[in-house]
Structures are given as structure tokens and as C-alpha cells.
Amino acid sequence: MSKKPTIALIGNPNSGKTAVFNQLTGLAQKVSNYPGVTVEKHVGKIKISGKDYNITDYPGIYGIVPNSLDEKIVCEEILNWCTKKDSSPDLIVCVLDANNISRNLYLATQILEIGIPTIFALNMIDLLQESNKNIDVSLLKEKLNVHDVVTCCALNSKGLIDLTQSISQFFNNPSKNRSEISILDEKTKLSIKELTNLLQKKGMSENQSQLYAINIVSNSNSLEIFENSERSKIKEIANNSILKLEEIHSSTKSLNSIIRYQWLEKLFDKYKILINLNKTTKKSFTEKLDKYLTHPILGTGIFLSLLFTIFWALFRFSEYPMNLVDSMMGALKKTVAQIMPDGLLEDLMVNGILEGIGGIVIFIPQILILMLSLKFLEDSGYMARASFLMDRFMSKIGLNGGSVLPLMSGYACAIPGIMATRTIDDWKERLITILILPLTSCTARLPVYVIMITAFVDEPVNQTLLFMLMYLLGTITAIIVAKILSIFLKEKANPSFIMELPSYKKPILKTLLIDAYSKTKSFVVDAGKIIFAISIVLWVLASFPKDVNGNDLPIKDSYVGFIGQTIEPIIEPMGFDWKIGIGLITSFAARETFVSTMSTIYGIDEEDEKGLKENLSEDYSLLISISIMVFYVYAAQCMSTFAIVKKETNTWKWAIVMIIYMTLLAYIGSTLVFQIGSSMGYT
């Protein structure tokens, strides 16, 4: 069986690269991690003219010099393409934002110098043309000597026809190796000759060695992608090259950037590749919109209004699908009960496993709405504005606007949020962001909030306000904790914040749906594994011991009841009883299991078929409901999060610090809510 042709998708962040990938592959893709790290790798399959191709979407980079962990992984991969030829892809598709062509060509020309056949995909060409500009594609192709240059628009699959045709033509009629471009003059090449010779011994071509040599002498970060055993020798020879370069250049710092941009400016000025169709200047749509959305007061009001709208939509549009899922799970349990013979196995399946899983799948509609909303804000370009808007405020608590995106990601899940902190260059700011990030309410808390609010509050507006209050409570507490940590942490700081504000784009519905589906599926599958295991353990603990006749005892007299009653004195100040106590214990594996645990407990304890909300509203009060939610706002209850914190900080120290301070916050906060509420007569 012949090997499928491989395509690498490379590009700057915000170039629309992932949108192109999603349009090409649809659902024929999978997400995995690079070996040993938590950086995501997207691999998909595409079929063009009946032929299958494997395509990999790499994280966005600005150049082959790494400035973050994500970039380091990609740069290491590109280095392997140069030194281990059998690892390189057959074709590179380099996606460029046509509206920022000069800046995007900084990376694209480096990719060309690697020598692998490359197609340039000028994305978002429609936005460029709307601004009365265009790019001379044939001239760009000729002067850069690239295999092909195509324009496309990832807004719809039709806009990618030229790209798919270009890919097909390349593999059907592979051209001869094109001559490689070089941006260096002869004096510069001679100055780095010793270093290029060393790199060529590693398997690089002459052009590749010059590319990496000029990066190494310009930026010490370039050494990070080489093996530890090689760095000292490379650095020694690089220092000699730097001395020679300083004789012909005033400074070697950022020399690669200076030379490359000067070369690109001459190219554009001489050949008029970027054509201005209309000399009259007028404000773009992005500039007009930013006047309001980035305004310190008006912009903040719009930001908060957007959050309120998202939370309102969680309740307003999810009620019917949630009821539908609930009905389907009820029908499934009845069917299984009828098919299976009476006995322990049937009881385990119906009242244990299905009852527990049903407690989480019912929230799929709301998780989908949240994922869609966050992805919409990100793809439209608004999320970057939120970071910019909040930078001034964040600086007052020891962070910067770069922390906003990871914190916003935390509303979906703390794990990708923590991973996203790699883009924060300053270690102290990154560490503070990691430590406060679990205080932003993730989707795992969503089932707890929803069941507690809907069980005691009927009015949708009041539900939304209470729901938003929980999110604000976590966010405000995170701000306070960040300020405290910024004062007491003695970590070395080097604060800086540079952010690119992409142009506003119309989000692609297909991309939104694929991303929401992928993340919701991942959440449900990951949570389902934990719930499945806990449901079995919980059922065993709740179903035994039996009485002398082999009949079930009341759940309070079971093993799980004994555990709950044992910890009841500790949790009583928070207003919790032994049933809630059991839910707290099981949810230390994952917060969302609290709902499934309570479902399982009531499913075993009650002979009637009353819903969980009805049972909760009978046994508890609104005050206890709020106390439970406050506990879950603060509680450290996600083993996966702690594992990621350990991995990202390379020590268990900060994971343990997180567990301790969040558990104390949860206990104190919940106790204060219940005790103060009780003293005021709310029971």
C-alpha cells in the first residue's frame, strides 16, 4: 500500500490557517498532543479528484525562531525537516493574511528557504479587495520563485477551489526543484561561513544553513531547538561569526529581521506587487468599529453585555434540547430495565451507570452554546480586543493583556487555558495566571450551577443574574488573588506586552460547529470515563451491605451513607448534609460528577421517578444551593488540572499550592455564605 502524500499547513497566528484546515477536512480530522508535551496537533484527511492526502495543521508561528512553547514545538519540527529529509512533508501550504502581506511574508520567505515545495495561499483576499487593494499574484510567484500562489477565502469552501486544484496539480505533475532564494549579500555569507559549514554537517543544504546561521547570530532563542549536546559548539562558533558580522553591520541583534524586511520592502517598492486601486484613503471597517469596542468605558460596557448575553442564551435556548435529552435518557433506562433480567447487574446498569451518565449528558446543549459563543468571539477578532481593552486594568494587578486570552479560555476549560499561558513571555506573570486560572468557572462547573439555579429559581432573568454572579465571583476573586500573588511572589519579572489586533472577520459557521463539536465531544468523553468509573464504585458503596434477607437497606445505612455521615460534622457549617458530602468527595476527581452522584443517590434512594431538581428543592433551600455553588466556584476539584500545572511549571510545588489555597477559599467562602444567610433568617 503506497504512502499517502503529506501536506503541512503553516502560517502566522490570525492568518485564517485553521479555518482553511477545517474547510478542507471537515470532520475528517483528529486532535492529539505532540509526544511529551501538551501542545495540540491537528491532523486531517482530504480527498481531491479521488486521491487521499494527509494534512497537518501546525500551531501558528511568526518565524522559525521560537518565542513560546507552541512555537518551539513547530520550529523543532521544521528543523527536523532540514536535518532528517525522510521526516519532511511532500508539500507545504503556507497560509498568508492577504491584508498583512508584508508581515506574513517574513515567515513565508523563511519557509521558502527551507527548500520544500511550497504553495502560498493568500487568505481573506475579499477583505483586501474591499479596501480597494489587490496583489499581483503572478508577479509575486515569479519574484519569490514559489511553486504556486493562489488567492482564497476560507469563509466558504468555494473559495478554496483554486487551492485544492493547485495541490492536485503539484502531486500529479511534480515540478523540478526550483532555485532557492537567498536574502544575504556575499559579505554576510562570508562572515557566517564557519557556522554554515557546521550546520551543513548536520545534513542541511547551503541555503538552509545560511537561514539558521543568520537566525542564531541574531537571536539566542534559536539555539533552544537544537540538542543540548550541540548548543555549546554552535554558540562558540556563532560568537566568532558575530565578531565578523559587527565589522560590516552596526549590530547583530535582530539582524535577520532587519535584512529580511529591507529585502521585502525593496521587492514591493520595485515591482509594485501590492496594488492600491484607489488612492483615496478612508477608514476601514475595523478602524470604525474599534473606535467603540476598544473605548475604555463604552468598550467595557459592551464586553460585559456580551458576557450577559452568552449566559442568558445558556438558559433561554437550551431548555427544550435539555428536556429532549432527559426524555431520551429516561426512555433508555426503561428499555434497559425491560430487556435485562432483574438483579444486581440490571440495578447497576440502570440506577448506577445510566443514572450517573444521564446526569452529565443532559448538559451537552449548554456546553455547546458556551463553546460556540467563545469560538465566535475568537474567530471574529473580538477576543483580541478584549485583551487590549483589559490590559490597563490587568497591569494594576501585576499582569498584562496577554493574560486575558488564557483566562477567557478558562471559562471553557482550565486545561487549555493553562496551556495558552505559554504565550506569556514573563515567567512571573505566567505563573500568576496559571495559579488564578482555575478560579474562572469552567464548563465542568456548569452542570452544578444549572441544576442548583433551576431547582430553586424560576424566572429566566433571575436565573441569568445568579448564574452571572457565580462567574463574576470567581473572576473578582481571581483578580484579588492575582494582586496578592504579584506582591508576594519573588519570581523574576520582565514585563512586556505586544499584541496584534487582527481585522474583524465573519466567523465561518462550519468552523464554529466543528470546533464546538470537537471540544464538547472531548469534554463529554473525558468526563464520561470518570463518571463511568465513579458510578460503578458509588453504586457498589450505595447498594451494600444488604439486610439478612438480601434486600437493600436505606442508602443512609449503606457504605456510602456511612462515609457521608462521617464527614457531615466537618461540612455542616456550610449547610451541607451527608448526601451533599458524598457528592463533594466524588467530585474531587471531576466537578461535573457532583450532579451524576446526586442523580445516582436519589435514583437508588427513591422508588418514585421524581426528577433530581424536585428532590433537591424538597430537601434543601436556596441558601444551601448558593452555598454549594460558592463552594464549587472556589474548590480545587480537577485532577487533570493539577497534572497540567505540574507539567507546565515542572514541579508539584505550585500544584500543591493551588490545591491548598483553593480548598481553603471554598470552605471559608461557603461557610460565610451559609452562616451569614442563616443569621439573617434565610434558611
Structural domain includes residue 513 = yes
Structural domain includes residue 289 = no
For 309-368, how does the pLDDT look when each residue is reduced to its tens digit (9 = 90+)? 877 777 678 778 888 887 898 899 889 989 999 888 888 888 778 877 776 687 688 778
What pLDDT does 163 receive?
Answer: 93
pLDDT band at 30 (very low <50, low <70, confident <90, very high): low
Angle (deg, nearest 10), helices 364-380 and 382-395: 80
DSSP for 348-411 reads IIIIIIIHHHHHHHTTHHHHHHHHHHHHHHHHHTHHHHHHHHHHHHHHTTT--GGGHHHHHHTT
For 548-597, how does the pLDDT look when each residue is reduced to its tens digit (9 = 90+)? 787 878 778 888 888 889 999 999 999 999 989 988 887 776 677 788 77
Domain match, 105 and 223 both:
no
Angle (deg, nearest 10), helices 69-83 and 206-218: 150
Domain match, 165 and 190 both:
no
Least confident residue range of 167-176, 360-369, 645-654: 360-369
Domain match, 272 and 307 both:
no
Domain match, 472 and 585 both:
yes
Domain match, 324 and 412 both:
yes
Domain match, 127 and 252 both:
no
Q: What is the SS3 assignment for 681?
A: coil
Residues 91-104 have a mean pLDDT of 90
**Which residues have a Cβ under 8 Å from the Cβ of 354 and sit 6 or more positions away?**
329, 332, 333, 336
**Residue 638: what are its φ and ψ, rounded to 5°?**
-155, 100
210 or 538: which carries more pLDDT confidence?
Answer: 210
For 490-513, how does the pLDDT look when each residue is reduced to its tens digit (9 = 90+)? 755 545 555 567 778 888 888 888
Cell (9 digits) for 228: 543540548
Residues 469-486 have a mean pLDDT of 90
Domain match, 363 and 479 both:
yes
Structural domain includes residue 526 = yes
The CATH number linked to 18 is 3.40.50.300
Total domains, the chain: 3
Least confident residue range of 112-126, 248-262, 399-413, 647-661: 399-413
Mean pLDDT, the chain, rounded, equals 83
Q: Is the pLDDT of residue 1 over 80?
A: no
Structural domain that includes position 232: 186-276
Neighbour tally for 459: CB within 10 Å: 9
pLDDT band at 281 (very low <50, low <70, confident <90, very high): low
pTM across the whole model: 0.67
Structural domain includes residue 409 = yes
- Identify the domain boundary among 108, 142, 172: 172
Residues 603-624 have a mean pLDDT of 74
Domain match, 153 and 68 both:
yes
Maximum average pLDDT range among 230-234, 251-255, 295-299, 642-646: 230-234
Structural domain includes residue 179 = no
187 or 358: which carries more pLDDT confidence?
Answer: 187
Percentage of the chain surpassing pLDDT 70?
88
Domain match, 133 and 254 both:
no
Domain match, 539 and 578 both:
yes
- Of 675, 593, 582, 608, which Cα lies nearest the Cα of 639? 593
Structural domain includes residue 287 = no
pLDDT band at 419 (very low <50, low <70, confident <90, very high): low
- Identify the domain boundary among 276, 292, 324: 276
Domain match, 508 and 578 both:
yes
Domain match, 203 and 269 both:
yes
Structural domain includes residue 178 = no
Structural domain includes residue 482 = yes
Residue with grid cell 460528577, as numbered in its chain: 593
Residues 163-178 have a mean pLDDT of 81
Residues 468-472 have a mean pLDDT of 90
Sign of CA dihedral 24, 26, 29, 32: positive
